[in-house]
């Protein structure tokens, strides 16, 4: 018998690829942080001698979720400025607070709080955009959490950089530090905060370094109207003319799209990152997911930041995404459960260029896995575990998680994290920010 590190034996496995069904009576075999085999449980126990055998009756195992658009340090601003439209929320609340408080300590403490929340809700990979990306990368590595960290690029000064020249120089210096756990993207904030010459330099650097470009596009109708007045062109069309719209582009939000823009997204291979709950909370409108998918575009899912959502719950986000599509299209067959799950697993991994590592349960991939307990009253009885995951399960039922084969969540408790310390830091930041105390 072959000695291996881990044998997982749940009631169901949803491998995502190949196939669109749940396997019953199967096991996942893990060794050296990688998936070695997926086979009937009886065969696995006859063939492998695991150092750890984890039986999970009533659970479904699937790939960890990929949250494709987050601003994780903003956990420390959760609930600071609710019930306000985007322009007011951003310019009168978020930006002034960030200008005063954001620094290395803020970013590290907020990211650690987010890592705990993400693990407890089944996310094992995120695509991050925030200041001090070097601190973010170090924090994700320290916690063994997989991430694509966006290097922010703006025209105006922040605590991270003074001007576009410095943002780009810091980005160029940072992105060579990628490894299997943490990668990088370029993150120009949005068309309304980044000039044409800077976007051209972003594209030049992205092509030279073979990087993704992750930005906010058409987040609100007001943004589009302002750009039409200022430049005489819609933001998406402006990016297309600059050559930014391509398979490199991760375009977050993308509400208020014309039929021609939808066709161009598909034709040029850009990826739309749908953030339905943030879009609704800020009253920004609705991404036309059904029309994008019908056109052949790739659509994946992110929560957005926890100051505008206000959580990092991918199960909840996927349910909202699926129900919105059905309601808006008046077609209950749109975005079935398995396709929604693919948007947060293999499709997101492909968009982030991580599908050789994660996104499905296949031999050779890294063992980034989660287990969700479907034996509870809220999810009983189980006719179809895939539908039950999307339409009945909640993040509190995520009980186990592994990244690179290392246990990160055990019976709902995050491993190797000082949770009282993380929460104490969050409370301390609340007192400083709400009280207006000096830094």
The structural domain count of the chain equals 2
Question: Are residues 266 and 130 part of one domain?
Answer: yes
First to last CA, the chain: 59
Question: Are residues 174 and 159 part of one domain?
Answer: yes
Question: Are residues 263 and 212 part of one domain?
Answer: yes
Tens of pLDDT, residue by residue, the chain (439 residues): 999 999 999 999 999 998 889 999 999 999 999 999 999 999 999 999 999 999 999 999 999 999 999 999 999 999 988 998 888 888 888 989 999 999 999 999 999 999 999 999 999 999 999 999 999 999 999 999 999 999 999 999 999 999 999 999 999 999 998 999 999 999 999 999 999 999 999 999 999 999 999 999 999 999 999 999 999 999 999 999 999 999 999 999 999 999 999 999 999 999 999 999 999 999 999 999 999 999 999 999 999 999 999 999 999 999 999 999 999 999 999 999 999 999 999 999 999 999 999 999 999 999 999 999 999 999 999 999 999 999 999 999 999 999 999 999 999 999 999 999 999 999 999 999 988 644 4
Question: Are residues 230 and 279 part of one domain?
Answer: yes
Question: Are residues 120 and 72 part of one domain?
Answer: yes
Closest CA relative to residue 408, chosen from 9, 56, 33: 33
In the numeric block, which tokens belong to residue 311? 């959580």
The whole-number pLDDT of residue 297 equals 98
Work out the angle at residue 227's Cα, subtended by the Cα atoms of residues 221 and 230, and round it to the nearest 5 degrees. 145
CA dihedral 203, 206, 210, 211 (to 10 degrees): -120
Coil, strand or helix: which one is 168?
helix
For residue 110, tell me if it sits in a domain: yes
Strands across the sheet with 213-217, in order? 65-70, 123-129, 146-153, 182-188, 213-217, 249-253, 271-274, 298-301
Question: Are residues 78 and 32 part of one domain?
Answer: no
Rounded CA separation 99/338 (Å) = 42
Question: Are residues 114 and 209 part of one domain?
Answer: yes
The whole-number pLDDT of residue 62 equals 98
For residue 163, tell me if it sits in a domain: yes
Question: Are residues 175 and 35 part of one domain?
Answer: no
Closest CA relative to residue 156, chosen from 194, 118, 124: 194
For residue 435, tell me if it sits in a domain: no
Question: 334 - beta bridge partners?
Answer: none
For residue 239, tell me if it sits in a domain: yes
Question: Are residues 288 and 252 part of one domain?
Answer: yes
Report DSSP state, residue 306.
Answer: T
Provide φ and ψ at 381, rounded to 5°.
Answer: -80, 165
Look up the domain containing 106 and give its range: 65-351
Q: Which helix (H) or strand (E) holds 302?
A: none
Question: Are residues 232 and 194 part of one domain?
Answer: yes
- The enclosing domain of 381 has a CATH number of 2.30.40.10
Question: Are residues 214 and 193 part of one domain?
Answer: yes
For residue 41, tell me if it sits in a domain: yes
For residue 309, tell me if it sits in a domain: yes
Question: Are residues 203 and 94 part of one domain?
Answer: yes
Closest CA relative to residue 301, chosen from 326, 327, 275, 279: 275
State the burial class of residue 182 (Cβ atoms within 10 Å of its Cβ: 0-12, 13-18, 19+).
Answer: buried
Q: Are strands 298-301 and 369-373 parallel, antiparallel or unpaired?
A: unpaired
Closest CA relative to residue 348, chosen from 149, 133, 60, 127: 127
Radius of gyration of the chain (CA): 21
C-alpha to C-alpha distances, 148 to 79, 90, 381, 384, nearest whole angstrom? 26, 24, 38, 33
Q: How distant is the alpha carbon of residue 1 from its chain centre? A: 39
Rounded CA separation 168/159 (Å) = 15
For residue 427, tell me if it sits in a domain: no
The whole-number pLDDT of residue 85 equals 83
- The enclosing domain of 317 has a CATH number of 3.20.20.140
Which of 351, 376, 395 is the last residue before a domain boundary?
351
The whole-number pLDDT of residue 4 equals 98
Coil, strand or helix: which one is 379?
helix
The whole-number pLDDT of residue 438 equals 45
**pTM to 2 decimal places:** 0.97
For residue 206, tell me if it sits in a domain: yes
State the burial class of residue 350 (Cβ atoms within 10 Å of its Cβ: 0-12, 13-18, 19+).
Answer: middle
DSSP line for 328-367: HHT-TTSS-HHHHHHHTTHHHHHHTT-TTTSSS--TTSB-
């Amino acid at each position: 018998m072959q000695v291996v590190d881990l044998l997982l034996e749940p009631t169901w496995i949803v491998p995502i690829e190949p196939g669109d069904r749940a396997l019953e009576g199967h096991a996942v075999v893990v060794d050296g942080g990688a998936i070695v085999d997926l086979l009937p449980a009886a065969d696995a126990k006859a063939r492998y001698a695991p150092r750890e055998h984890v039986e999970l009756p009533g659970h479904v195992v699937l790939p960890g979720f990929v949250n494709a658009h987050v601003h994780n340090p903003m956990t420390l601003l959760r609930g600071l400025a609710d019930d306000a439209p985007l322009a007011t929320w951003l310019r009168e609340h978020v930006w002034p607070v960030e200008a005063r408080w954001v620094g290395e300590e803020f970013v590290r403490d907020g990211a650690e709080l987010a890592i705990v929340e993400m693990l407890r809700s089944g996310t094992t990979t995120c695509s991050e955009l925030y200041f001090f990306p070097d601190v973010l990368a170090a924090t994700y590595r320290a916690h063994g959490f997989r991430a694509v960290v966006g290097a922010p690029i703006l025209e105006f000064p922040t605590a991270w950089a003074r001007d576009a020249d410095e943002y780009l120089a810091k980005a160029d210096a940072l992105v060579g530090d990628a490894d299997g756990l943490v990668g990088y993207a370029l993150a120009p904030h949005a068309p309304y905060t980044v000039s044409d010459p800077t976007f051209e330099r972003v594209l030049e650097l992205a092509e030279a370094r073979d990087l993704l470009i992750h930005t906010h596009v058409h987040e609100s109708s007001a943004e589009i109207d302002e750009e039409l007045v200022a430049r005489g062109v819609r933001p998406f069309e402006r990016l297309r003319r600059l050559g930014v719209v391509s398979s490199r582009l991760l375009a977050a939000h993308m509400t208020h799209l014309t039929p021609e823009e939808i066709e161009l997204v598909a034709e040029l291979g850009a990826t739309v990152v749908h953030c339905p709950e943030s879009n609704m909370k800020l009253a920004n409108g609705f991404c036309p997911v059904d029309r994008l998918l019908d056109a052949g575009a790739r659509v994946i899912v992110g929560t957005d930041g926890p100051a505008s959502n206000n959580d990092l719950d991918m199960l909840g986000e996927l349910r909202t995404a699926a129900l919105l599509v059905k309601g808006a299209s008046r077609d209950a067959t749109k975005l079935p459960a398995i396709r929604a799950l693919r948007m947060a697993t293999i499709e997101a991994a492909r968009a982030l260029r991580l599908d050789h590592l994660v996104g499905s349960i296949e031999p050779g991939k890294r063992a980034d896995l989660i287990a969700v307990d479907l034996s509870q009253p809220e999810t009983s009885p189980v006719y179809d575990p895939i539908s039950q995951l999307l339409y009945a399960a909640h993040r509190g039922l995520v009980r186990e998680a592994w990244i690179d084969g290392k246990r990160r969540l055990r019976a709902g408790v995050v491993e190797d994290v000082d949770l009282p310390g993380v929460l104490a830091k969050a409370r301390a930041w609340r007192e400083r920010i709400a009280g207006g105390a000096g830094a």
